Structures are given as structure tokens and as C-alpha cells.
Amino acid sequence: MKNIIIFGAPGSGKGTYSAEIAERYGMGHISTGDVLRGEIKNETELGKIAKSYIDQGQLIPDELMIDILAKTYDSLPAGKGVIFDGFPRTIAQAEALKKMLEERGDELGMMIELIVSEDVLMMRLLRRAQIEGRADDNEETIRKRFAVYHSQTEPLSKWFAAEGIRHTFDWGICKTKEGMLEAIFQEIEKQNA
């Protein structure tokens, strides 16, 4: 399978759809958010650093993040395709990912962008706060994450379009999780045909 980059704002469903895709096609799945939360839980040095950024709604510095990503990628079995969930989040991370994959004889594959309006995102994240209790899912930090997304991450959408691999899926059009999944699966199969 081609590699997949899942792209979208906080709460757009990157984790949910990644899990469904990974299960259906037997692909590897790297969620940088989950990797960082694991480090925090285990109270590692990296976890301490990560927590100070995550609690502020800020991004972890690129060099650190790129290093974590490469280590995680190299720990996965080769040849099955990988879903990148929550990475890249900056142009520098995207350039580094492309280079890392090229060095390993691999390529970016396809990018899937989840488009969801901000009021729906806020509703979902506040609901998730009650269920999962994530420290960064409070209204103030969510607003900061949206701002960081608009300034640092959203410009990447055009970067992927220029690479010729962007595919967008709009919640306002698909309307249900099943509808989104159906459209996404169809595109993945087309790209791998």
C-alpha cells in the first residue's frame, strides 16, 4: 500500500479514520500525539519536554519531532505502508518526511485532508474532554491549537497540492462517519490500483 498522510485540524478525526484505514488495509499507524502522550505517561525526559508544549497548545520543536518520527517509522515492519497521523504539522516537517522516505527508497504516497467547520470541531473536542479527559482539550487551549493550526499547519495543504497528492474530504458534504469512510476507502483503492 502507498503511505498515507492524514491531515486536518484538531478534532477533525485523524485518529479515528487512521485506525479504520489501518485495520482495513493492514497498514502501520503512527500517531505522533499518541507517541508523545505515551512518553508523558511514562514520565520520560522527552515526556517532560513534550508536556510543557502540549499543555500550552503549542507544537513540539521540529528537530525533536522529526527525530521521534524517524525512530518510530524505523521500528515498524517495512513494506505494508504507513499512515502518518498528526505529522507533518509544519513545512519543515513535511520536507523532512519527504527526505526521510526518499532515503529509504520510499515516497510520501497520498495525503488525505479532512475538512470540518470550526464549530463542529469545538463541539467534538469539548465532548472528547468529558470522555477522555485530555489536559489540552479545554476551551482556552483548543482556541490556541486552532490558531497554531491556521498559522503553522494549514499552509501545508497547498504544499501537498503542489506535490500532486492532496485529496480532500468534506464533512459538510459526506455528513456521516460512514459516508466519509466510504469516500476515503474508494480514493485509497483508486490510488493503489
CA distances from 92 to 3, 155, 156 (A): 19, 12, 10
CA distances from 187 to 61, 65, 177 (A): 33, 29, 15
Q: Is residue 24 among the annotated active site residues? A: no
Residues 42-61 close enough to bind ligand ATP by CB under 6 A = 53-54, 58-60
Neighbour tally for 185: CB within 10 Å: 14
CB of residue 13 to ligand ATP, shortest distance in Å: 6
Nearest to ligand ATP of 59, 120 (CB atom): 59
Q: Is residue 167 helix, strand or coil?
A: strand
Number of residues near ligand ATP (by CB under 6 A): 22
Residue 4 binds ligand ATP, judged by CB under 6 A: no
CA 163 vs. chain centroid, Å, equals 18
| Cβ-contact 63, 70 below 8 angstroms | no
Catalytic: which of 2, 98, 124, 134? Answer: 134
Q: Is the peptide bond before 10 cis (omega within 30 degrees of 0)?
A: no
Nearest to Mg ion of 6, 66 (CB atom): 6
Q: Is residue 104 among the annotated active site residues? A: no
CB of residue 193 to ligand ATP, shortest distance in Å: 28
Residue 32 binds ligand ATP, judged by CB under 6 A: yes
* Residue 109 near which of Mg ion, ligand ATP, none (CB within 5-8 Å, type-dependent): none
Give the β-pairing of 110-115 and 28-31: unpaired
Residue 33 binds Mg ion, judged by CB under 5 A: yes
Site residues (CB under 6 A) for ligand ATP? 8, 10-15, 32-33, 36, 53-54, 58-60, 65, 86-87, 89, 93, 136, 145
> Looking at the annotation, which residues are catalytic?
14, 89, 128, 134, 145
